[in-house]
């Protein structure tokens, strides 16, 4: 089993708030039920049975959107999309007609959590996989969801699907993921929601030390592990995509912008321009969520107009390092 992120999710803000004089600590409670081929937890891999509920705003959910598309699981697992903002109770389906998910028939993701655990008291979080027949959440264990997409749902992968978690590289992928989660994926939150100068300074230093380490690692290799895209690249990408629009200013991660870090900026553009990444990224939803919902650190709720994000489509030059995004596989079909 993959190394877990040891984190809860970008939720209905049950775990994202500033506590005075305290470092930010993310809630680590999951519904850890798995959907597997042997149905060990009571939920078998089965096409058309489950619905992945996401928001394009959330980096943890964004991972599942990308992996689902890269593997071609769209025909096996349907997807419900919540709006970019939510209230204190729950993510909501305000993008759908009448504000109701057309498959689950509910206005709030909270309803699916309550169907599993009445009065569920933990974070109502995305991503979540819902069992459509019962309307109950099966799991919100986001690190395991993508690993299981890659290893348990193989029967439903598209022809030419890439190997995102190849057996011979799993130990290295897990090792890289562990540091990337601790210092980068969650590191930006530890900066943004720090409750003291001391905890902010420590998180800031740890974040940029890790980004420097990643820059050095990626200077002479196109991808994080091996010569093709893996789970490690997906996990780093969703944080990098949010860095300049949100984390640099909103979370005070301002030593430098992503666009001022040459290696990481080229790497991020390479991924963004790869089918399955940029077409699964919604900068408007990202900005709306962070600036409108996080009133602890942006009391006005004003969403900045900048930065100009057209530069994501500029040449990156990473092809010269070799490697191939999908290895012996192929790109997913255009949306």
Among 151, 154, 211, 162, residue whose Cα is nearest residue 323: 162
Could you tell me the end-to-end alpha-carbon distance of the chain, in angstroms, rounded to an integer? 32
DSSP label at residue 261: S
Among 168, 164, 214, residue whose Cα is nearest residue 187: 214
In this structure, how many other beta carbons lie within 10 angstroms of the beta carbon of residue 223?
22
Residue ranges of E strands in the chain? 50-54, 78-81, 128-131, 136-139
**Helix (H) / strand (E) containing 70:** helix 59-71
DSSP label at residue 98: G
Ligand-binding site membership of 91 (annotated): yes
Give strand pairing partners of 128: 53
Residue ranges of E strands in 84-220? 128-131, 136-139
Residue in 50, 58, 272, 291 annotated catalytic: 58
Cα-Cα-Cα-Cα torsion 215, 219, 225, 230, nearest 10 degrees, comes to 80
Cα-Cα-Cα-Cα torsion 39, 42, 48, 50, nearest 10 degrees, comes to -120
Kindly give, in sequence order, each residue whose CB lies less than 8 Å from that of residue 69, ignoring residues fewer than 6 positions away: 276, 279, 280, 332
3-class SS of residue 320: helix
Residue in 165, 189, 223, 272 annotated catalytic: 189
Among 216, 221, 222, 214, residue whose Cα is nearest residue 239: 214
Clarify whether 30 is annotated catalytic.
no
Give strand pairing partners of 46: none
Clarify whether 189 is annotated catalytic.
yes
Among 32, 263, 231, 211, residue whose Cα is nearest residue 138: 32
Residues assigned a catalytic role: 58, 189
Residue positions in the annotated binding site? Answer: 91
- For the annotated binding site for glutathione, the residues are 91
């Amino acid at each position: 089993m993959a190394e877990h992120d040891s984190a809860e999710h970008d939720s209905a803000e049950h775990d994202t708030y500033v506590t005075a004089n305290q470092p930010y600590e993310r809630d680590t409670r999951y519904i850890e039920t798995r959907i597997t081929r042997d149905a060990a937890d009571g939920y078998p891999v089965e096409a058309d049975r489950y619905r992945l509920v996401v928001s394009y705003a959330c980096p943890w959910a964004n991972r599942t959107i990308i992996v689902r598309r890269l593997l071609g699981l769209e025909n096996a697992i349907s997807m419900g999309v919540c709006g970019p903002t939510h209230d204190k109770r729950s993510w909501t389906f305000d993008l759908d007609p009448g504000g109701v998910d057309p498959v689950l028939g509910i206005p709030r993701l909270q309803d699916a959590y309550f169907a599993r655990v009445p009065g569920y008291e933990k974070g109502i979080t995305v991503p979540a996989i819902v069992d459509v027949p019962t309307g109950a959440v099966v799991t919100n264990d986001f690190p395991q969801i993508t690993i299981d997409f890659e290893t348990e749902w193989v029967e439903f992968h598209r022809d030419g699907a890439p190997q995102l978690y190849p057996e011979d590289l799993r130990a290295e992928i897990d090792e890289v993921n562990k540091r990337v989660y601790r210092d980068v994926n969650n590191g930006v939150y530890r900066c943004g929601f720090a409750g003291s100068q001391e905890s902010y300074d420590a998180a800031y230093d740890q974040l940029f030390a890790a980004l420097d380490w990643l820059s050095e690692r990626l200077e002479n290799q196109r991808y994080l592990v091996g010569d093709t895209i893996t789970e490690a690249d997906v996990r780093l990408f969703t944080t990098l995509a949010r860095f300049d629009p949100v984390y640099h200013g909103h979370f005070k991660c301002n030593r430098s912008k992503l666009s001022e870090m040459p290696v990481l900026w080229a790497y991020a553009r390479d991924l963004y321009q790869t089918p399955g990444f940029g077409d699964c990224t919604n900068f408007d939803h990202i900005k709306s969520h962070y600036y409108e919902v996080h009133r602890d650190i942006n009391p006005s709720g004003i969403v900045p107009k900048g930065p100009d994000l057209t530069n994501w489509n500029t040449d990156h030059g990473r092809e010269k390092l070799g490697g191939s995004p999908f290895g012996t596989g192929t790109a997913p079909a255009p949306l």
